[in-house]
Amino acid sequence: MKYEKVKPPEEGERIEYKDGKLIVPDNPIIPYFEGDGIGKDVVPAALKVLDAAAEKIGKEVVWFKVYAGEDAYKLYGTYLPEDTLNAIREFRVALKGPLTTPVGGGYRSLNVTIRQTLDLYANVRPVFYIKGVPSPLKNPEVVDLVIFRENTEDVYAGIEWPKGSEEAKKVIKFLAEEFGIRIREDSGIGLKPISEFATKRLVRLAIKYAIENNRRSVTLVHKGNIMKYTEGAFRDWGYEVAKEEFGDKVITEEELWNNYNGELPKGKILINDRIADNMFQQILTRTAEYDVLAMPNLNGDYMSDAAAALVGGLGIAPGSNIGDGMGVFEPVHGSAPKYAGQNKANPTAEILSGALMFEYIGWKKASELIKKALEMTISQGIVTYDIHRHVGGKLVGTREFAEAVVENLQSI
């Protein structure tokens, strides 16, 4: 692979992908970029924790710094250079910081571009409680969800045209002449594609995850009562892949009650579905009943942020973008530019995103160590401002929090 302005490290080895499995050396080269805003604070802090966890299990990450966002624009004249995409392609796994996305005009979301360009079709966001973090729930410890959000289609496909544009006028005219559909002339136009292919590969991944991790259920979340041929189809195709490819492993809600009196048999996974707006209140009122959730892109965006609020907010919410043999790991929160460079931001989401990355490459012990160390640190009352303002304790900065996590990790 050729690079224009960066050079891969001479030490370290590449992660390979053969026969549907990652082959991970003890010293993998992993690209990373800090991104925008507080990325400059939280990513270096996370690297310290990740290095300590890797060393604890006898491994080493050889980091390869690449660029995206404002730093990339200064260096390359573009916000997302080919060097960065090529590094992810070559080394297969990457850690990223938050990237700023302009609202309204400006350039298109770099996060979406990375996902679509590299076909990282599943945005996987686990949501779980860390002891000591303030939560609006009385019993936040019951929250243990994993959200599988389709990452390439839906309204995020970016197929849209502004009001008054020639494209919008043509679409409005075409719909009127061919189908008798009347749309106001001053409308912006957008399309919402949801395909059988993309739906089935997402649901397939969610069910495989549930099987491999001894989960109880996979819930298809949709708005199929209104959007029957997109989100309704997502529901139908989800059930199809469950029955056709995992028929011996799953049972439907109807079968659960008709054949098993509501008691899930051992070794089976429940496949069910919920309307999206109802699901928002279900994760509040019946939280413990849900496990793995699979849904289209926009629903997944809303739902994962709402779920994160149950356990303390986006500041501690990790995320991952998974394709076939490739993964990019990122915090759910944004770039928060007003806090950039202040050594103030909570690095927990970035650290946990790295823990997810370790799980993905098979370093589960390192991931478990990170989670334990984070919980120990917060339980000791060592917290950044976002948690301190709710529960008090010892207020520390981004770097100091990471150092405390490392100290606890080394003591485990």
301 is in an annotated binding site: yes
Q: Where does 155-215 show beta strands of DSSP type E?
A: 160-161, 189-190
346 is in an annotated binding site: yes
Given the residues 51, 119, 277, 291, the one annotated as active site:
277
Active site residue 302: no
Q: Do the strands 189-190 and 160-161 form a parallel or antiparallel pair, or are they unpaired? A: antiparallel
Active site residue 107: no
For 105-157, what is the HEC assignment? CCCCCHHHHHHHHCCCCEEEEEEECCCCCCCCCCCHHHCEEEEEEECCCHHHH
333 is in an annotated binding site: yes
Nearest-angstrom CA–CA distance, 218 and 270:
6
Given the residues 223, 273, 344, 386, the one annotated as active site:
223
Active site residue 301: yes
111 is in an annotated binding site: yes
Active site residue 290: no
367 is in an annotated binding site: no
Q: Tokens for 269?
A: 């996974």
109 is in an annotated binding site: yes
100 is in an annotated binding site: yes
134 is in an annotated binding site: no
274 is in an annotated binding site: no
Given the residues 79, 129, 156, 360, the one annotated as active site:
156
Q: Dihedral sign for Cα 288, 376, 367, 45, please.
A: positive
Q: Tokens for 89?
A: 């392609």
Nearest-angstrom CA–CA distance, 225 and 275:
8
Which residues, 6+ apart, have CB-to-CB distance to 401 below 8 Å? 45, 346, 347, 348, 377, 382, 383, 384
Nearest-angstrom CA–CA distance, 37 and 241:
41
389 is in an annotated binding site: yes
Given the residues 41, 154, 301, 386, the one annotated as active site:
301
334 is in an annotated binding site: yes
Nearest-angstrom CA–CA distance, 293 and 278:
13
DSSP class of residue 349 equals H
Positions at the binding site for D-threo-isocitrate: 109, 111, 115, 125, 149
Positions at the binding site: 100, 109, 111, 115, 125, 149, 301, 333-339, 346, 385, 389
Positions at the binding site for Mg(2+): 301
Positions at the binding site for NADP(+): 100, 333-339, 346, 385, 389
Give me the active site residues, please: 156, 223, 277, 301
